[in-house]
């Protein structure tokens, strides 16, 4: 029997109304540089803009509240960061963890950085750090066997909550 998982709130994504749809057509640079070139932070999924580092909501999250901490300038490797950017990056990651804890009260948090395509980076030309709230059994049958993620809240709700707690 065919099983259906209804996720009607994802219709805005399917219709092209995701953060990527809000990137200016004439924007240049890496994916994150183009996202940061927007003027509507909420529509683009931008949670925080810092001097050298910003935080965006992952448009393809592993779970609710999945943030990406990104240098404002596209660099591919940690060694390419200036000392100031490196400090701000890790200070912002630490703050993002606190925001995730305050917003979701998860029993755990994953913080991860994948460098290079072979290292698992989905955007290899722009370094980014994942901050991901985790719950017991959130990698259950649906993810492991059915290759389906079930997200309990729409991205619009996640951005609203995270921005309010930033």
In the three-class reduction of DSSP (H, G, I as helix; E, B as strand; rest coil), residue 129 is classed as strand
Cα–Cα distance, 57 to 48 (Å, whole number): 10
| DSSP state for residue 124 in the 8-state scheme | T
Handedness of CA 21, 24, 25, 31 (dihedral sign): negative
DSSP 69: E
Contacts of 4 (CB under 8 A, 6+ apart): none
- Find the DSSP H helices in 65-111: 83-104
Please report the sign of the dihedral spanned by the C-alpha atoms of residue 161, residue 38, residue 16, residue 130: negative
Examine the residue annotation and report whether 48 is marked as an active-site residue of this protein: no
End-to-end CA distance of the chain: 45
* Catalytic entry in 48, 126, 128, 130: 128
Mind telling me the catalytic residues?
128
């Amino acid at each position: 029997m065919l099983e259906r998982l209804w996720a009607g709130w994802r219709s805005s994504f399917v219709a092209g109304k995701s953060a990527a749809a809000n990137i200016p057509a004439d924007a240049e640079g890496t994916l994150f540089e183009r996202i940061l070139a927007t003027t509507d932070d909420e529509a683009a999924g931008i949670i925080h803009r810092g001097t050298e580092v910003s935080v965006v909501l992952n448009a393809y999250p592993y779970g609710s509240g999945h943030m990406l901490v990104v240098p404002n300038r596209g660099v591919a490797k940690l060694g390419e960061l200036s000392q100031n950017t490196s400090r701000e990056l890790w200070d912002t990651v630490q703050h993002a963890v606190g925001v995730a804890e305050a917003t979701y009260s998860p029993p755990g948090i994953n913080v991860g950085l994948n460098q290079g395509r072979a290292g698992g980076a989905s955007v290899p030309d722009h370094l980014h750090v994942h901050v991901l709230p985790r719950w017991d059994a959130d990698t259950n049958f649906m993810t492991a066997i059915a290759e389906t993620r079930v997200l309990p809240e729409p991205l619009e709700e996640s951005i609203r909550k995270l921005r309010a707690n930033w």
